[in-house]
Structure 1
């Protein structure tokens, strides 16, 4: 019932390309007698995700852990306390789902991180082997999955270059061997939102109007016939997005919880798809607001994010009262309401490692073995930028005074934001004497719709204007040494790193780019179909339709202006930032003997293997040491 950790509905963005955490080595030391440094312990310390649980068997749960050194799925029987590793693949597994009856575990099987594959399933108790979950469907990129409480109704979203977005249904009356019925197809991106509690209604998020940043909603029956439509795009230049948060968990209840942006931020409302009635909750909270149902449908668990921190609330439908669910100051990365009324949530801060807590006062899952060392807290900085006040989070070694070598760690997404949450990567730089600055540039979530939508058409360049404003503050305030400034990031952050090194060549002493967009035109033609839809929205067309915009925003355009040493790491199976466009950029650097190093690894958009992640961080630290002194 949770919305984090093991859900298959990963969004179409490029993500952050980083998984912090690790496994227990049992010794706390590396080979020989040398003690393991704190920065490595933070990656190796065992971690767990917020457990998903079966709606009709809440004692059965599914979570992700790195207990073996690779992130994999684990089954947990809360009644007996037994835990069992479900998947075991060289490059890890994180996409999984429990059937509502708790009998089956579904998981997505791709090849070496390329995100192109099929759904498999196995019995929760491990009594059988993996089997194809939906026979008759060819491999694809996943676009949502929903399994009915009857155990027979299944809704599968797919995305391929040939077919665009399709949705298929396995109906309860299907004969053995029948192929799943296709009920939806469109060239633009779409996906499965949810299946109603009685298994008769399917909510679809789609972007048929051509704006992949702002979805519309359609509710259909299992035969594909339309029940209701909700579209806030208005057919004009101002697009407003909608998202499916879930059907009411009660048979016959046709209410759908929906996220909307009608007041310039994300917030929930209740839409009765049978009557068309919309109930606006109008929650008096600043910032973005999301929600999920309590299991009996009488209340909502409200997740609230504001200025890089998060907290929880309960909204009661009968009294219309909003009551705070007490959590410490920091970030709540996921939460779920249990049938007994308690709330389980994953909490951390920049200084304190994650812990899975319950409002009952207990720690829900406490992995045995090595504990991750803490780090230093963040300081909030607000800087006036060209598009408004920019929020940045700053960490520096305890007791240190500037000017310090400083890493600008740029988040991915771009529709994401840095928060006061525990991150092993930034903490590693602090351990080595660096200050770390993380900027929630325009395009980031959590600061209103206009802030998120601002990057259209001048993609990359707008974000770098905000980063430049914070860079100027960091130097003028005495925090940062202007001669030892590092621009770094993964995925979209890697893209901004390469673009920044070329468009601001005198501003940066070093660049570290992980799984980046490097040649935007080639990236567009090679990437997964859902990302092509996103890029058409960002740029207002394809590279052939608006070539000047792609050229202005592509790092390859400015590669010959790069002065700083560049370190690039890339997964050879990456479908989001494909390897060919990275090689095009690297070849241009090599052609003029620019100082650069490239590390290629056998995975996709980042790695789920702890040793591999540690190796990459060690290579970045060493590259910075050699070139900055």
Structure 2
């Protein structure tokens, strides 16, 4: 179902989540997806064969997560404003919603896996840690696992006989295999070689005889080895086996093709800010490219009918859900958005290799431009050749925008991702400084008109850069940032505490100097330029307590700043909040940076003679 275009006088914005619709395992024409409902994310069902769709959920603050099982029951996560809740189900065509599994505690979602016959496994994360529950839809869930270790439910084998739970990829329990009674069958460590579980293979086809074909349990795995990412499989009794013919130099993920007739896998590689798709045939040991336009693939999924669905975008084109067959997909936006700017790639020499920056400049104004470095989050993430409404808003306002894939970013291989030679945060700030100098030397930006803007980890780097190199930045906007490393650790989730422990080499009690050296609050009093902080009162990833600690340092140092609080979590589902942040940020940056030159006048039409 495609949302109707905006009516006159109605809201002037919509929301779009770049995640593909989930297709029914039984009928590839029946799909569920997260779409726009009056500026909020809500769950929709759509039947491609009839063109009929309907909105399933209607909650004041939006709904994000959904799935569909073999019986075409739709699952969606019913959460409160703090992100806690539980799964509910309802029939694809109609009917009331009901709790999916009784007896499962309220918490944050930590994985959902669906198998035949209505069997399901649910992962829930709470203050007590991770719990995994198994049961049939509409029945009672039985706890299979309770642990205080960080982790996420990865998958449930098609026959329901084995569960895979993912821990941190670098940990001693990167992957744990469990039986339904909670017995540990195997543990795949990641301490020597980072390891990720990607899901169980679909069930084999029934044989033509009177008895069904024997089942198989085959888990798809990605392992980092010798600077590359190797696809592999794990099976009971055999263990982990890597495929020497299927490896990649940058981060790659994979999904099984559905269907019982083969062992084919769809792979998506992120490389140097762009994406590529491949199909791996495990029986034939063949790797084949899947043709897609140049740009970024934000999500890709093989469908039950053999088609491949993917979301494509580049810096000036909004994301579009496409299929190799050309068959239509739901949730497409009818909004006609203006496209601003020219895009180019910039590579700046650095101590661990060149730093890649994606640059978008106004097409209608002369250089040099006022410049904004839009800093990505993560740290295990990267900026892509992908549409970003903030980029378009800035470029349309006359600013050049630089998105720097600093050391620690994904998409450039394991060595780049692990390069922290100048310390946590300071390594990344050094790359921002190098990119800034290069952009000014090339005449893209101009001195005295350079700002920073970032969200989450990008907001952290914005604050750290403004405090450690205050002379370089003329204004800054930090949205939902990590601002005080120690306070954030004390109030954070177990998963983020595990990430910090690995990143810093210990907890704040074990390595206090490392946390102090990397914390923006240690340098906040040195900030000289206008600063806007946007914080969320229900943020579990960058909690409000650490924002308050940072603000106390600003106030004690007499540092001028502006503050905007949102009554939401880290990942808001309401477009009104996102729009408010963009508008406030643009106004603030406009006050802190010199005005952009006026658009160039078009040449006059030649006179007739």
CA contact (8 A) 1:350 1:421 kept: yes
* Structure 1 counterpart of 2:241: 278
Distance 2:139 2:289 in 1: 50
1:286 deviation in Å? 4.3
Counterpart among 152, 157, 162 of residue 123 in structure 2: 157
CA contact (8 A) 1:401 1:479 kept: no
Q: Secondary structure at the match of 1:625?
A: helix
Instruction: Tell which has more relative contact order, 1 or 2 (C-alpha 8 A, sep 6+).
Output: 1
1:492 deviation in Å? 0.6
1:159 deviation in Å? 2.3
Counterpart among 200, 210, 218 of residue 247 in structure 1: 200
* Structure 2 counterpart of 1:36: none
Q: Secondary structure at the match of 2:31?
A: strand
RMSD: 2.5
Counterpart among 90, 93, 105 of residue 125 in structure 1: 93
CA contact (8 A) 2:320 2:332 kept: no
Note the alpha carbon deviations across 1:431-465, whole angstroms, 9 max, x for none: 01111000111111111112222349922111111
CA contact (8 A) 1:227 1:274 kept: no
Distance 1:495 1:55 in 2: 42
* Structure 2 counterpart of 1:17: none
CA contact (8 A) 1:350 1:375 kept: no
* Structure 2 counterpart of 1:530: 495
Distance 2:422 2:484 in 1: 17
The normalised TM-score by structure 2 is: 0.90
1:136 aligns with 2:97: no
Counterpart among 341, 349, 353 of residue 314 in structure 2: 349
1:376 aligns with 2:341: yes
Note the alpha carbon deviations across 1:147-194, whole angstroms, 9 max, x for none: 22110x222222233x3223222269xxx975x333323332112111
CA contact (8 A) 1:159 1:529 kept: no
Counterpart among 155, 180, 197 of residue 158 in structure 2: 197
* Structure 1 counterpart of 2:350: 385
1:277 deviation in Å? 5.5
CA contact (8 A) 1:23 1:44 kept: no
Counterpart among 63, 67, 91 of residue 93 in structure 1: 63
1:620 deviation in Å? 0.8
Q: Secondary structure at the match of 2:245?
A: coil
CA contact (8 A) 1:219 1:273 kept: no
Q: How many matched pairs?
A: 581
Moved more, 417-426 or 320-329: 320-329
Distance 1:359 1:326 in 2: 8
CA contact (8 A) 2:230 2:243 kept: no
1:55 aligns with 2:21: no
Distance 1:523 1:475 in 2: 35
1:368 deviation in Å? 6.1
Distance 1:573 1:457, change over 3 A: farther
1:430 deviation in Å? 0.4
Moved more, 477-486 or 450-459: 450-459
Distance 1:627 1:348, change over 3 A: same
CA contact (8 A) 2:342 2:362 kept: no
1:108 aligns with 2:81: no
Distance 1:329 1:107 in 2: 33
Q: Secondary structure at the match of 2:38?
A: coil
Note the alpha carbon deviations across 1:328-381, whole angstroms, 9 max, x for none: 111111111123322111111112111111111344236364322333342111
1:301 aligns with 2:266: yes
The normalised TM-score by structure 1 is: 0.87
Q: Secondary structure at the match of 1:44?
A: coil
Distance 1:342 1:281 in 2: 27
Moved more, 265-274 or 65-74: 265-274
CA contact (8 A) 2:173 2:188 kept: no
Moved more, 248-257 or 315-324: 315-324
Q: Secondary structure at the match of 1:378?
A: strand
* Structure 1 counterpart of 2:481: 516
1:506 deviation in Å? 0.7
Note the alpha carbon deviations across 1:30-75, whole angstroms, 9 max, x for none: 89xxxxxxxxx7x537677411112234332111112421111111
Distance 1:481 1:228, change over 3 A: same
Q: Secondary structure at the match of 1:71?
A: strand
1:23 deviation in Å? 8.3
Distance 2:507 2:459 in 1: 22
CA contact (8 A) 2:538 2:568 kept: yes
1:536 deviation in Å? 1.2
Instruction: Show structure 2 runs of 5+ residues with no match.
Output: 205-214, 595-609
